[in-house]
Amino acid sequence: MPFGPISDLSIHLKNSSKKQAAVSFTKETAACNSYDLLRYTWQMTTSIINSNTIIIGAGPAGLAVGACLKQAGIQSILLETNDKVGSTWRRHYDRLHLHTDKKNSELPFMPFPKEYPRYPSRDHVIEYLECYAKKFSLDIRFNQQVKRAQQENNLWEVETKDARYSAPNLVVATGYAREPFIPEWKGKDTFNGKIIHSSEYKNGMQFKGQSVLVVGFGNSGGEIAIDLFEHGAKPGIAVRNAVNVIPRELAGIPILSIGIVQNIMPAWMADLVNMPILRAVIGDITQYGLRKLPYGPATQIKNDKHIPLIDVGTIKLIKQGHVAVFQGVAEFTENSIKFTDGKEAQFDAVILATGYRPRVNDFLQAASSTFDKEGTPTFTGKKTSIPGLYFCGYYVSPTGMLREIAMEAKQISAEISKIKQ
């Protein structure tokens, strides 16, 4: 690799020293309850670390914003819950590759290495992110889980378990995959088999010879079904809703590149143009137990904010009978699962590829208009209605999330640069 092995990559942190202030308490202070006393002590003994911009999250979005600000000569501090950059990518399953080509997935000012394949693996992406942080000497504070972020007197004050930060600008870049979403079903707690979320899935080795149900037909669910089959399991996949399926490439051209060209069209027009091509390449998916959405992929992304399955082999396995298709899950029994069409089948294990929730409202104290009930920001990549508050990486883009993150990072940096001037 051009950047050296991952073990050789280190991100040098600039740890600010914390000045301790002497505190004397009056009798009135001592009379406070224990929680208030501890909080008061903490506030008085911990110095505030100041910066122009605080960025919450050191994944692709946070790193991209940090790099853009660095190039603009603006100081920023990145706060990361875990001890390494790209922590979400590190949790993903072993088989994962980008579904978008590397040319259209690079972050600002740094392409993927030429030696990487067109669709980089999970490990390639992790290495790329580590090199990215090192190249721009980003000031990343690790093991800093944010407890609270609130604007006071035109400054954003951010508290972690052991530090306080202050800045006029706050960028929230914690990503979509912050909290695994685990639905509830009747009888789930009585099921004798193993139930895990896809965030806990690494590979299919432990499921060899077992019947395993994957719940969810997104890109993770589709690829996990392939991985289970390749490890000798007998996978099925539960698909609750009607779907769209698109290939990763058409005639050797990445589907993302085609999407970028067609993005100038209205969604309905792009779907109309693509309909005969997709029918020829994918075929009639309704023959295999899948239900087709009455509208195309472009409309699905625009209206439903949901990416269609980018097929990397799942449909072939379904057509060959290696992956069984079921309707949505209705309820669990001790050894089986009942589906919404009345059918029932036995399984040894269940993988929940049911997605995530951003949950920025867990720590961000701001007007409810800035995020929905699931904590998904309503603005991303631009100024919000609250001065100094930005979100990066929350737009479900028809042209690729990483590409969108790169554009949003540049836009946010440009806005902050205007304020500084």
Last residue of one domain, picked from the residues 316, 338, 354: 354
Structural domain total, the chain: 2
Residues 115 and 194 in one domain: no
pLDDT tens for the chain, 421 residues long, are: 333 333 333 333 333 333 333 333 333 333 334 334 334 444 444 689 999 999 999 999 999 999 999 999 999 999 999 999 999 999 999 999 999 999 999 999 999 999 999 999 999 999 999 999 999 999 999 999 999 999 999 999 999 999 999 999 999 999 988 899 999 999 999 999 999 999 999 999 999 999 999 999 999 999 999 999 999 999 999 999 999 999 999 888 998 888 888 888 999 999 999 999 999 999 999 999 999 999 999 999 889 888 899 999 999 999 999 999 999 999 999 999 999 999 999 999 999 999 999 999 999 999 888 999 889 999 899 989 999 999 999 988 878 899 999 999 999 999 999 876 5
**Same-domain status, 23 and 160:** yes
Domain-embedded: residue 219: yes
Residues 326 and 194 in one domain: yes
- 3-state SS assignment for residue 6: helix
Q: Which residue has the tokens 């685990």?
A: 182
Regarding whether 238 and 112 lie in a shared domain, the answer is: no
Which domain-ending residue is among 329, 354, 379?
354
Nearest Cα to Cα of residue 329 among 357, 354, 302: 354
Query: Hey, which bits of 80-145 come out as E strands?
Result: 140-141
Domain region containing 37: 6-178+358-420
In a domain, 1, yes or no: no
Q: Are residues 388 and 268 in the same domain?
A: no
Half-sphere exposure of 16 (CA within 13 A, CB side): 17
Shared domain for 168 and 188, answered yes or no, is: no
Return the pLDDT at 305: 83
**Under a CB-based contact definition with an 8 Å cutoff, are residues 223 and 353 in contact?**
no
Whether residue 327 is contained in a domain is answered as yes
What is the rounded CA–CA span in Å between residue 404 and residue 298? 16
Backbone conformation region of residue 69, classed left if phi is above 0, alpha if psi is from -120 to 50, else beta: alpha
Query: Per-residue b/e over 249-280, b at no fewer than 16 CB within 10 Å?
Result: bbeeebbbbbbeebeeeebeebbeebeeebee
**Residue 345 falls inside a structural domain:** yes
Q: Does one domain contain both 250 and 318? A: yes
* Tokens at 330, concatenated: 């209705």
Instruction: Say if residue 149 is in the same domain as residue 234.
Output: no
- CATH number of the domain that 398 lies in? 3.50.50.60
Q: Are residues 93 and 169 in the same domain?
A: yes
Could you tell me if 112 and 34 lie in one domain?
yes
Whether residue 139 is found in the same domain as residue 266: no
Three-state SS at 8: helix
**Order of strands, edge to edge, in the sheet holding 336-339?**
329-332, 336-339, 344-346
In a domain, 148, yes or no: yes
Residue 367 pLDDT: 83
Q: Among 327, 354, 381, identify where a domain stops.
A: 354
Q: Residue 62 falls within a domain, yes or no?
A: yes
* pLDDT score for 420: 63
Residues 155 and 190 in one domain: no
Instruction: Assess if residue 172 is contained within a domain.
Output: yes
**Per the domain annotation, does 104 fall within a domain?**
yes
Its sign, for the CA torsion 23, 28, 31, 36, is: negative
